[in-house]
Amino acid sequence: MTSEQVAKILQVHPFTVLKLIKSKRLQAIKIGRMYRIKEADLENFTESLSQKVEDTSAKRKPTGVAKTEGSALRIIKSSSGRDHFVIE
């Protein structure tokens, strides 16, 4: 696949794919002036990303309330999985 095709699959800009290739995070073969990416290499890359997400979420601290002087910091989980902090 070309870097443009991979960019569409990953929903990123083609320059981002080139940065991933040059940083050796995504395997690719250079043919002339163009890079080609094997499907297996793209699958390995996406699997490594999902593994990193699982590792990071396992290390997260539990959400709750942290009290400070006269106020409380409440941590709220959104549907997107992001934490939001509210001072009460």
Q: What is the pLDDT of residue 63?
A: 55
Q: Which of 4-8, 45-49, 73-77 has the lowest mean pLDDT?
A: 73-77
Q: Is 35 a domain residue?
A: yes
In a domain, 9, yes or no: yes
3-state secondary structure the chain: CEHHHHHHHHCCCHHHHHHHHHCCCCCCEEECCEEECCHHHHHHHHHHHHHHHHHHHHHCCCCCEEEECCEEEEEEECCCCCEEEEEC
pLDDT value of position 11: 92
Q: Please indicate, yes or no, if residue 81 is contained in any of the structural domains.
A: no
Domain presence at residue 74: no
Number of independent structural domains in the chain:
1
In a domain, 34, yes or no: yes
In a domain, residue 71? The reply is no
Determine, yes or no, domain membership for 45: yes
Domain limits for position 46:
3-59
pLDDT tens across 38-63, in order? 999 999 998 888 777 666 666 655 55
